[in-house]
Structure 1
Amino acid sequence: MNLKELASKLGLSPTTVSRALNGYPEVNEATRERVMAAAKRHNYRPNTRAIRLATGRAFAVGHVIPIATRHEIVNPVFADFIAGAGETYSRNDYDMLLSVVPDAQEEDTYRSLKSKGNVDGVIVHGPRLNDPRIALLHEIGLPFVVHGRATGTALPYSWLDVNNRRAFQRATEFLLDFGHSRIGLVNGLEFMDFAIRRRAGYTDALTARGITPNPAYMSSDEMTEISGYRAATKMLSLPVPPTAFLCASMISGMGARRAIQDKGLVMGRDISVIIHDDDLSYLKNGDDLPLFTATRSSVREAGRQTAEMLLDLIAEPTASPQQRLLEAELIMGQSTGPAPKD
């Protein structure tokens, strides 16, 4: 069925049907709902090329990944985010354009996406302290939503983030309540906003209990298994080692678990471990009983919501910026227990 045939069945002009299907504000809601219902009933699919020509939209969203962080593409956290965002794009007939570029070409890539009209907007990943991409995207007028926040940025912008500071504060308090006073932090790279906030939550919780944070019990690196292993091994080799670890991801937590085993210790008995982001599609935290105690947040759901925010912004470019702060849930697993007696 083509547009003309659908319009004939509805007794409307093809122009009205087209405008109803494409969200033009001059079509009243009752007519829009009637047209949408008929299109669904008759399995009508609009001609995407014609819509693009008529509206000037690309019906595509961009994700620009610098080569320095290309490991993110195979990171299950990134994969879950993209899967969630992809569900939103598909539901709204949008395509996704993923660009992996040299670091020095990141700015030029955003400018090119805008000038060529390849995308209607972008999602910004891995925000950093005073992130220059926010000012750039404001300058070139490309709609965007940030997955995370950028400390130090004064310009208004839309973002969706997990309350990283509160998540790590609660996790640290949980370990303190178990009697642990020597808690190691296996953090992500601390020029990244999420890692800055996680360290703040960790140190705030210690300070509130009268414990001076010990730099020897803190590490900052890529959130990989080998980095988690090396950080935990180094801390466990100290004359007075930690009795617990707070790890920035399940992957770094797996490295910490390997380091604990190498020392002949038992996770959950001799050393406690809490991880972040355990709700992953292809890297499950155990079956019925979670292996790790975790601060859980659904990255897939974050992808869905961030994509929805961007599509809303594309539809209403003059709307005020949106901000959504999601809270992580503390999940009990087998990796934590009371601090061992010295």
Structure 2
Amino acid sequence: MNLRELAQHLGLSKTTVSRALNGFSEVNEETRLRVQEAARRFNYTPNISAKRLATGESGAFGVVLPGASSEMADPVFGEFLAGLADGAGRCGRDLYVNATFDGEEAGYRRLARAKAVDVMILANLKVEDLRIRLLSHLGLQAVTCGRTAGSLVYPHLDIDHEDGVRRAVDLLTGLGHRAIALVSGPADLSASEQRMVGWHTALDRRGLTAEAGLFMAGPATEDHGYRATRTLLALPTAPTAFLCASMFLASGCCRAIGDCGLKIGRDVSVIAHDDGLATVRPEAFEPALTTTFSSIRSAGGRVAELAAALVGGADPADLSEVWPVDLIFRDSAQAPPRG
């Protein structure tokens, strides 16, 4: 079945069907889902060669990884990449992942010269991320998972890290906690800065001080979570609650709490951020962890849809989304011990 036949079957124009399959925001959700279901049912595949000849597009999205990048072994990034691949497939696009041998910038320059991709996908944005300006200079469009400082307008999807931490702090202070630590990922990441702002804002609003010594930034690993928690619990006035920016940090935090002879929920409360990974579930902890939640796989899929819409001619200023974060209460967040 070709595009014309698919459109006739659905009683829609070819333009509407094409836009629905390519993620354009002006196509309503009901129509988009109906078109996608029909495309799957009739095994519709776009004629990629004809499309490339007609439009000059490569039909691919690109991701560049430096050869030694820790992202390659990061399960959270891997889940994002899986969602991105799923979304690209739904939009009839290929995903080109380039692990470079000579650095990220060189990889971008090669892809630009070869015209190998239509859009570059960026993740793990830094507070001031120069990659967006570089790609603009190279004539490459970009869609990001995350936000960064600067005046350039670029399509992006982010989660509301700041509000998620504010809500978690509000929960803990409402339970009676006054010394609340934040164990975060690398300090130069935009998401880490957003979390720190949310932590400061929520504590200030309650008339509490965000002590600099209670903020610990570092790799988003189990080891950093463990070491940071041991350091914080050794303070003269140790925190009674911990906010952890990932499930891996939370895993290390919980292990450190146990090694110090303390019990989560009774002696110390813990709230973690859950990206929806199948391998590390908050319900598997003892007790089950209270979490802020947002699916990184779903984010990857949506970033692909935004990239498809950008290639299709949508205004970049209309392709920006910030998703709210759910707060899921479980037994790891309780009132602090008395006395």
Q: Output the TM-score relative to the length of structure 2.
A: 0.85
C-alpha spacing 1:43/1:330, structure 2 compared with 1 (3 Å): closer
Contact 2:76 2:275 in 1 (8 A): no
Q: Which residue of structure 2 aligns with residue 146 of structure 1? A: 144
* Structure 2 Cα separation of the partners of residues 199 and 36 of structure 1: 41
Q: Residue 282 in 1 paired to residue 258 in 2?
A: no
Contact 1:159 1:323 in 2 (8 A): yes
* Structure 2 Cα separation of the partners of residues 246 and 41 of structure 1: 46
* Structure 2 Cα separation of the partners of residues 177 and 39 of structure 1: 50
* Structure 2 Cα separation of the partners of residues 288 and 213 of structure 1: 28
Residue of structure 2 aligned with 1:129, choices 124, 127, 130? 127
Contact 1:82 1:300 in 2 (8 A): yes
Q: Which residue of structure 2 aligns with residue 117 of structure 1? A: 115
* Structure 2 Cα separation of the partners of residues 273 and 36 of structure 1: 42
Note the residue ranges of structure 1 that are not aligned, 5 or more in a row: 11-16, 24-28
C-alpha spacing 1:45/1:192, structure 2 compared with 1 (3 Å): closer
- The aligned runs of 1:1-342 (5 Å cut-off) are 43=43, 45-67=45-67, 70-101=69-100, 105-151=103-149, 153-286=150-283, 291-316=288-313, 320-342=317-339
Superposition RMSD in Å? 3.0
Aligned residue pairs: how many? Answer: 320
The SS at the match of 1:286 is helix
Q: Which residue of structure 2 aligns with residue 26 of structure 1? A: none
Structure number with bigger Rg: 1
The SS at the match of 1:320 is helix
The superposition leaves residues 267-321 of structure 1 with CA deviations (integer Å, 9 ceiling, x where unpaired) of: 1111100001242233222269982100111111111111100110011165535
Q: Percent identity?
A: 37
C-alpha spacing 1:319/1:159, structure 2 compared with 1 (3 Å): closer
C-alpha spacing 1:251/1:49, structure 2 compared with 1 (3 Å): same
Note the residue ranges of structure 2 that are not aligned, 5 or more in a row: 20-26
The SS at the match of 2:282 is coil
Q: Output the TM-score relative to the length of structure 1.
A: 0.84
The superposition leaves residues 121-149 of structure 1 with CA deviations (integer Å, 9 ceiling, x where unpaired) of: 11111111221111112222212111100
C-alpha spacing 1:318/1:164, structure 2 compared with 1 (3 Å): closer
The SS at the match of 1:181 is coil
* Structure 2 Cα separation of the partners of residues 142 and 177 of structure 1: 48
* Structure 1 Cα separation of the partners of residues 164 and 46 of structure 2: 45
Which has the bigger relative contact order, CA under 8 A and spacing at least 6? 2
Displacement of 1:37 in angstroms is: 10
C-alpha spacing 1:161/1:40, structure 2 compared with 1 (3 Å): closer
C-alpha spacing 1:45/1:147, structure 2 compared with 1 (3 Å): closer
Q: In the alignment, residue 97 of structure 1 is paired with which amino acid?
A: Y
C-alpha spacing 1:224/1:39, structure 2 compared with 1 (3 Å): closer
